[in-house]
Amino acid sequence: MLIKKLLILFCMALGPVVFGQTCPNLTAPLNGSTNVPVDTSISWNFVEGVTGYIVSIGTTSGGTDIINQTQVGSATTFTPPLGLPDNTQIYVTITLFFFDQPNITCTSESFRTEDVTTVPVCTNLNNPINGATNVNGSTNLAWNYAAGATSYDLRIGTSSGSADIFDQNVGNVLSYNPAGDFSAGTQIFVTVIPINDNGPATACPEESFTTGAMATLPSCTTMVSPANGAINVPLTPLLEWTNVPDATGYRVTIGNSPFTSEIVDNVIFFTNSTFVINFEPNRTFFITIVPFNAAGDAIGCTQESFSTILGCGPYFDSATGELISLNPEINFPDVISVCGTDESTTVTSTDSADGFYWYKIDSFGNETLISSLAQATFTESGDYKYEAYNTIAQSGNSIECPSSKNFRVEISEVAIINSVDISQNLGDLSVVINVQGIGDYEFAVNNSDGPYQESNVFNAVPAGLVTVFVRDKNGCGITEKTVEQDLTVEGFPKFFTPNGDGVNDFWQFIPPLNTTNTNLNTIFIFDRYGSLLAQIDPSSLGWNGDFNGRPVPASDYWFRAITKDSKELKGHFALKR
């Protein structure tokens, strides 16, 4: 089954995810730098395994108002073509580009640029160059960036010092496309004047070029063999593209990625075909062909791609513009837990694929096949590898296109509760559950259904019997323990003996020494089932151990004391006979 992932080469959708790659840090300027030149180049660390980088630069974190998601290939340095605004906090965001997984957008880093207080320096034409002859009349004008410039005045004339063709500020750009063609056989004079808030550059030189006979730029071409998106391409193919009648040659670039040119680097061919020796198998190659003639290079030619014989991709589908991968998508955890009380645990893959392999990996990295089904059974901890594959028929052969994931099996077990520490503060309890075991645990109090939490500490637990629950996250079981603590608050007796001997015959609050104001309003007394037995005034003798005129049995009883400021104190005491 084909698994399609949309890849738009020059406009990537941002989406931070985590795949194990480490995001790079700026190496120049460093994060937090100040007084950075406006014409600075931006560099970052190389990240192993990354296909390419996408750079965004803005005036806010994650912003793109200066540079909007520009592909820079595998380069780790980028120079903003128009420089940077002065005296501004600049934010740089690096996105890691991949073929076979979502891009990773890294956290923005920032620096502050210098305050430019002088006018910019002058610049020069780079197309056409000063003194050029036989220039195509439909040429565009382009010039070099002038450090500190924020716009450019452009003057074009047919005589030195004149501006009879054009005389305007073109904004913060480095090129200009004239509204019409320049006359053939004419010397054209051009002056470019950089400008910033401090004023225009001074004494900028006038440059000129001479047009030739009128000529037409060639159109672009397309691949004939192999066709765009083709698979099973031989390792030594004849590359052929459509002939462009008015082209005198073709500039050809071929690389292992959309950004590189390891195979052919802008090589000129004067025919519309060439042999390429020994492409690598099972690879996708990206080819760009630009026809040219005396008028210049064809404009806007697009990149095409193909995959060599017995390849799993990725490759471009010319019909849809999508990137096709024949490898299955997999979703598998980093860790699987096996309960120590079980003899084995069976795991079943939920991925859609034609076949599966499961391997045990020993300490030397050797792999031993343990299952070739969708299920595998694990009896011990250790390192393992899971692989899912699709079976593809290509050129009379059947190949497996796999996707794999290394994972670890860990033994888990139910918890052993060593102790439960309980302390009291104004009637409420703080509970700390101390456990041992090799499982991954979560905790709850007074309800086996939870809610459960990661922390083993609970605050504001109501006074009374406390039952704690410890649950193994991997389903190995729940351990519980009930704890009854001496919850007597200072001033409330721990017991009394209503036997008529004149000693401890009544249970009542006893104010601590040196205290005259008890601050208590009333006291309620309950049995262990929560039934109200008595309500006493703190100034009375207290409770005599009777309910409805009859003595209650020796047991533990609970009290709830209400203070004059409506706070509650809770605890329990013993009635002894």
In a domain, 117, yes or no: no
In a domain, 1, yes or no: no
Residues 401, 422 within the same domain: no
Q: How far apart are CA 368 and CA 236, in angstroms?
A: 37
Residue 61 has pLDDT above 90, yes or no: yes
Residue 487 has a pLDDT of 40
Q: What is the CATH number of the domain that holds 394?
A: 2.60.40.10
Half-sphere exposure (CA, 13 Å, Cβ side) for 365? 0
Residue 11 has a pLDDT of 30
pLDDT in tens, 74-109: 789 999 999 999 999 999 999 998 765 788 999 999
Residue 464 has a pLDDT of 63
Residues 22, 106 within the same domain: yes
Q: Which of 256, 290, 325 is the last residue of a domain?
A: 325
Residues 311, 289 within the same domain: yes
Q: Which residues pair with 486 in a beta bridge?
A: none
Residue 266 has pLDDT above 50, yes or no: yes
Q: How far apart are CA 211 and CA 216, in angstroms?
A: 13
Residues 427, 379 within the same domain: no
The most confident of the ranges 187-201, 202-216, 232-246, 319-333 is 187-201
Q: Considering its fold, how many domains does the chain have in total?
A: 6
Give the DSSP per-residue string, 380-449.
S-EEEEEEEEEEEEETTEEEEEEEEEEEEEEEE---EEEEEEEEEETTEEEEEEEEE-SS-EEEEES-TT
Residues 28, 106 within the same domain: yes
Half-sphere exposure (CA, 13 Å, Cβ side) for 132? 17
Residue 349 has pLDDT above 60, yes or no: yes
Residues 370, 443 within the same domain: no
Q: How confident is the model at residue 118 (pLDDT cuts 50, 70, 90)?
A: very high
Judge whether 328 and 403 are in contact, CB under 8 Å.
Answer: yes
In a domain, 562, yes or no: yes
Judge whether 143 and 191 are in contact, CB under 8 Å.
Answer: no
Judge whether 127 and 173 are in contact, CB under 8 Å.
Answer: no
Residue 12 has pLDDT above 50, yes or no: no
* Whole-number average pLDDT of the chain: 86
Residues 368, 423 within the same domain: no
Judge whether 31 and 106 are in contact, CB under 8 Å.
Answer: no
Q: Is 208 helix (H, G, I), strand (E, B) or coil?
A: strand
152 sits in which H/E element: strand 151-157
For 473-480, what is the mean pLDDT?
A: 87
DSSP state of 514: T
Token code pair at residue 211: 């047009």
In a domain, 118, yes or no: no
Q: How confident is the model at residue 15 (pLDDT cuts 50, 70, 90)?
A: very low
In a domain, 248, yes or no: yes
Q: How far apart are CA 102 and CA 284, in angstroms?
A: 18
In a domain, 387, yes or no: yes
In one-letter notation, the amino acid at residue 554 is A
Residue 145 has a pLDDT of 96
**Burial class of 484 by CB neighbour count within 10 A (0 to 12, 13 to 18, 19+):** exposed
Residues 13, 107 within the same domain: yes
pLDDT in tens, 527-553: 988 899 999 998 899 999 999 999 999
Q: How far apart are CA 421 and CA 519, in angstroms?
A: 29
More confident call, 3 vs 110: 110
Residue 290 has a pLDDT of 96
Q: What is the CATH number of the domain that holds 514?
A: 2.60.40
Q: How far apart are CA 431 and CA 485, in angstroms?
A: 11
Q: Is 125 helix (H, G, I), strand (E, B) or coil?
A: strand
Name residues whose C-beta falls within 8 Å of residue 375's C-beta, 6 or more positions apart in sequence: 346, 347, 348, 349
pLDDT in tens, 217-227: 899 999 999 99
Q: How confident is the model at residue 381 (pLDDT cuts 50, 70, 90)?
A: confident
pLDDT in tens, 159-179: 999 999 999 999 999 999 898
Q: How far apart are CA 15 and CA 8, in angstroms?
A: 14
Residues 13, 55 within the same domain: yes
For a pLDDT cut of 70, what percent of the chain falls above it?
88
Q: Which of 77, 112, 147 is the last residue of a domain?
A: 112
Residue 60 has a pLDDT of 95
More confident call, 324 vs 229: 229
Q: How confident is the model at residue 4 (pLDDT cuts 50, 70, 90)?
A: very low
Give the DSSP per-residue string, 229-294.
TEEEE-SS-EEEE---TT-SEEEEEEESSTT--SSEEEEEESSSEEE---PPTT-EEEEEEEEEET
Judge whether 174 and 144 are in contact, CB under 8 Å.
Answer: yes
Residues 103, 42 within the same domain: yes
For 176-183, what is the mean pLDDT?
A: 90
Residues 40, 24 within the same domain: yes
For 511-517, what is the mean pLDDT?
A: 56
Q: How far apart are CA 93 and CA 67, in angstroms?
A: 10
Residue 19 has a pLDDT of 40
- In the chain, the N- to C-terminal Cα span, in Å, equals 82
pLDDT in tens, 292-314: 987 788 888 999 998 886 667 66
Residue 18 has a pLDDT of 36
More confident call, 515 vs 156: 156
Kindly report which listed range (128-142, 414-428, 560-574) carries the lowest average pLDDT score. 414-428
Residue 313 has a pLDDT of 65
Residues 395, 446 within the same domain: no
Domain that holds residue 541: 495-575
Half-sphere exposure (CA, 13 Å, Cβ side) for 475? 5
For 25-33, what is the mean pLDDT?
A: 96
% helix / strand / coil in the chain, to the nearest 5? 0, 45, 55
Name residues whose C-beta falls within 8 Å of residue 527's C-beta, 6 or more positions apart in sequence: 533, 552, 555, 557, 558
In a domain, 547, yes or no: yes
Q: Which of 154, 183, 210 is the last residue of a domain?
A: 210
Q: How far apart are CA 93 and CA 65, in angstroms?
A: 12
Residue 324 has a pLDDT of 73
Q: Which residues pair with 288 in a beta bridge?
A: 253
pTM across the whole model: 0.46
In a domain, 488, yes or no: no
For 378-399, what is the mean pLDDT?
A: 85
Residue 462, CA distances (Å) to 30, 419, 429, 465, 558 in order: 54, 19, 6, 9, 13
